[in-house]
Amino acid sequence: MDLDLLRNIFLDAHVLDVDFSDWDTAVRLLVVGTELPVDSRNRLPLFIVEFQGVRDFGVTFAHLDNPLREGHYQWRAHTFSIDTEGAQHRVRLYGSKLFPTIALTCREIDVRPVDQDVLSKTFADWDNPGGPLVRPGIERAMRSKERRRPRGTA
């Protein structure tokens, strides 16, 4: 675990995705490190922050008293705290009162860079300002596939 990198990422991170697809081994966040240096193409770095061996995971939502008329809040996390007891890390990530707070306990944390070009090929609108998380929800993805399916196919 690179604690300095984690702290630098979460000086101000934009959370783009929460991945529970492998929940029995890891939970992952896709984040933009908005306070880190840009690359040669003037783009902010993307990271997968992988929490391995998650024992508990909680999210508190606090935006309901401040609903938007349209669009979505862009989920920001600019405070990162970690307490280690034995082989367990208790992590807390949060931003302002409008954004979700994550509290979790895990065995290990891994951070990997993400290639924006590869992400763009898979999720073309991932960097749409005011948009939702990177991946569409299951129902939205199914509706999108229905619209693209030629008539007469199953």
Range of the domain at 42: 3-148
Token pair belonging to 144: 């999108």
Domain count, the chain: 1
Token pair belonging to 20: 């529970």
What's the rounded mean pLDDT across residues 24-32? Answer: 95
Q: Answer yes or no: is 121 within a domain.
A: yes
Q: How far apart, in whole angstroms, are the C-alpha atoms of residue 76 and residue 73? A: 9
Q: Answer yes or no: is 33 within a domain.
A: yes
Q: Answer yes or no: is 105 within a domain.
A: yes
For the segment 98-136, what is each residue's pLDDT rounded down to a tens digit? Answer: 888 999 999 999 999 998 888 888 887 777 766 667 777
User: Residue 141: pLDDT above 80?
Assistant: no
Residue type for position 71? G
Q: Answer yes or no: is 154 within a domain.
A: no
User: For residue 135, what pLDDT is reported?
Assistant: 73
Q: Answer yes or no: is 153 within a domain.
A: no
User: For residue 147, what pLDDT is reported?
Assistant: 63
Q: How far apart, in whole angstroms, are the C-alpha atoms of residue 29 and residue 50? A: 7
